[in-house]
């Protein structure tokens, strides 16, 4: 079967810093892959490279078997129609009410778009009463739900989740994780999430990959994560300061 997303040898450098260094990973249709890794290891950059927001220096990015690295103009726009994205901070447009945020990419008359936005609000467990509020009037958890509603509004076949639970309390984070799992299953979406929250990993992932120093150093099904012998993975999932992962500027 052709992978839905396939990255081969992707490299990206910012100045003197090599962020991605031969990154290779693939996501199969309908699969939920979670990439774990410490802060600054290039997780968000890899998502933005797939979306064409950041150009890559070397390597190949294929979506449904089609090379997408280097796409421009209308071809790049068409490529992006396949994706929804939940940004780390929600990235809701402050100047627009909730319903216009959700229906931003939907065509049609305002009344139809508003009705579609309210449908999507219901999918993420929010009522129509929040439709006319501004993002600043919502709690962090509600903002994440609205951002999730916006990401699924056009029913994209692929959704990216960038640190979906960052900044949320554990209970709200668990609610968001369950919501993501339900949506991915119900809408038969291919999901690629990046996080360093292990609770998210266990709730969202079918398969897990670990990114370190710009490349995937381990990947496998969720069930094999706890028994993994890779010292980097073990240190990461146990949150230990002892191990091969050195934090820059931090003495062990």
| Contacting residues toward another protein, per CB under 8 A | 48, 51, 53, 77, 80-81, 83-85, 87-89, 91-94, 104-105, 150
Is the CB of residue 194 less than 8 Å from the CB of residue 43?
A: yes
- Residue closer to another protein, measured from CB, 53 or 247: 53
Nearest distance from C-beta of residue 193 to another protein, angstroms: 15
- Residue closer to another protein, measured from CB, 37 or 90: 90
- Residue closer to another protein, measured from CB, 99 or 232: 99
Nearest distance from C-beta of residue 213 to another protein, angstroms: 24
Nearest distance from C-beta of residue 102 to another protein, angstroms: 11
- Residue closer to another protein, measured from CB, 2 or 81: 81
Nearest distance from C-beta of residue 58 to another protein, angstroms: 23
């Amino acid at each position: 079967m052709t992978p839905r997303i396939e990255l081969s040898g992707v490299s990206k450098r910012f100045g003197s810093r090599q962020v991605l260094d031969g990154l290779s990973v693939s996501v199969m249709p309908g699969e939920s892959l979670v990439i774990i890794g410490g802060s600054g290891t290039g997780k968000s950059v890899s998502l933005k490279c797939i979306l064409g927001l950041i150009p890559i220096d070397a390597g190949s990015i294929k979506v449904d078997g089609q090379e997408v690295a280097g796409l421009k103009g209308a071809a790049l726009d068409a490529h992006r129609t396949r994706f929804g994205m939940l940004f780390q901070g929600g990235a809701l447009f402050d100047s627009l009410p909730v319903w216009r945020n959700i229906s931003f990419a939907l065509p049609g008359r305002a009344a139809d778009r508003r009705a579609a936005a309210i449908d999507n609000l219901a999918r993420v467990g929010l009522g129509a009463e929040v439709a006319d509020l501004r993002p600043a009037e919502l709690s962090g958890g509600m903002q994440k739900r609205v951002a999730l509603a916006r990401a699924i509004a056009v029913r994209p076949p692929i959704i990216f989740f960038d640190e979906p639970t960052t900044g949320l309390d554990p209970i709200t984070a668990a609610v968001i994780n369950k919501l993501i799992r339900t949506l991915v299953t119900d809408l038969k979406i291919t999901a690629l999430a990046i996080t360093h929250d292990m609770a998210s990993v266990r709730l969202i992932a079918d398969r897990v990959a670990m990114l370190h120093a710009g490349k995937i150093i381990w990947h496998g099904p969720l069930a094999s994560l706890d028994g993994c012998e890779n010292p980097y993975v073990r240190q990461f999932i146990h949150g230990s300061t002892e191990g091969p992962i050195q934090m820059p500027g931090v003495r062990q």
